[in-house]
């Protein structure tokens, strides 16, 4: 499964369930923008490793809203403690999808430890996450997205040839917050 196809499956599910999406920086965000831009997508431009944490904060702030984090193996490895925090504090409205292509894809495909021996699904289980699924095809991925917890999707290395996101950080944030919670509730 190509990563952009996996992202398209997640985007489709997110759209159908009116979910908020926090997407990892680099090509994954560009691919998500290309296959299905929505104001409900928060595209990261920096702070590598924090997609799952930002999504956790969102899901705690908005317990009635579904929140999906799209992360990568390299980024999760940079913030492994997040899995323990998710296990302890995430609610049923939270889903972390780790697209594991076994490389740092946006920087030239240098291998990560999942290319050798690290099993992120096992790490998530060991951290205490009760609901962990592994998906190797688009169909398996589609099925696995219905619940909460963590999904590890095995994808091929490589980036799609997609343009840079033509939005400023302020635009990404303001249109996202407009959809995340109504203006009338803001102080």
Partner 1 sequence: MPAELRPSERIYRGMKSAGIDLVASVPCVNLQELLCLLSSDPDIIHIPVTREEEGIGVCAGAYMGGRSPAIAMQNSGLGNSINALASLNMLYGIPVLMVISHRGTPGERLVGQIPMGRLTEPLLNTMGIKFFRPRPHEAEEIIENAWRLAVNERRPVAVLLDIQFWEGR
CB 14 within 8 A of CB 37: no
Which residue's CB is nearer to partner 1, number 142 or number 179?
A: 179
Nearest distance from C-beta of residue 166 to partner 1, angstroms? 16
User: Rounded to an integer, what distance in angstroms lies between the CA atom of residue 18 and that of residue 139?
Assistant: 20
Binding mask 35-54 for partner 1 (x = CB under 8 A): -------x-xxxxxxxxxxx
Q: Are 38 and 12 in contact (CB under 8 A)?
A: no
What does the alpha-carbon distance between residue 172 and residue 42 come to, in Å, rounded to a whole number? 6
- Report how far residue 28's alpha carbon sits from residue 87's, in angstroms, rounded to the nearest whole number: 24
Cβ 140 to partner 1, closest distance in Å?
28
| Residues in region 10-39 near partner 1 by CB under 8 A | 22
* Residue 143 CB, nearest approach to partner 1 (Å): 27
Joined tokens for residue 85 = 């925090």
Site residues for partner 1 per CB under 8 A: 22, 42, 44-62, 65, 79, 81-82, 84-85, 89, 169-170, 172-173, 176-177, 180-181, 185-187
């Amino acid at each position: 499964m190509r990563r952009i196809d996996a992202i398209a499956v997640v985007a489709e599910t997110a759209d159908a369930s009116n979910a908020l999406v926090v997407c990892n920086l680099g090509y994954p965000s560009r691919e998500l923008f290309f296959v299905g831009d929505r104001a409900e997508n928060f595209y990261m431009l920096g702070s590598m490793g924090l997609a799952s944490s930002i999504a956790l904060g969102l899901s705690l702030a908005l317990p009635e809203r579904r929140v999906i984090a799209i992360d990568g193996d390299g980024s999760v490895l940079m913030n492994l403690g997040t899995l323990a925090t998710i296990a302890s504090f995430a609610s049923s409205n939270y889903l972390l999808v780790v697209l594991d292509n076994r490389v740092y894809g946006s920087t030239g495909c240098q291998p990560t430890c999942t290319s050798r021996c690290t099993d992120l699904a096992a790490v998530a289980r060991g951290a205490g996450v009760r609901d962990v699924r592994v998906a190797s095809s688009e169909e398996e991925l589609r099925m696995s997205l219905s619940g909460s917890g963590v999904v590890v999707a095995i994808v091929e290395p490589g980036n799609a040839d997609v343009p840079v996101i033509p939005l400023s950080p302020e635009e990404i944030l303001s249109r996202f917050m407009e959809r995340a919670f109504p203006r009338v509730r803001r102080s």
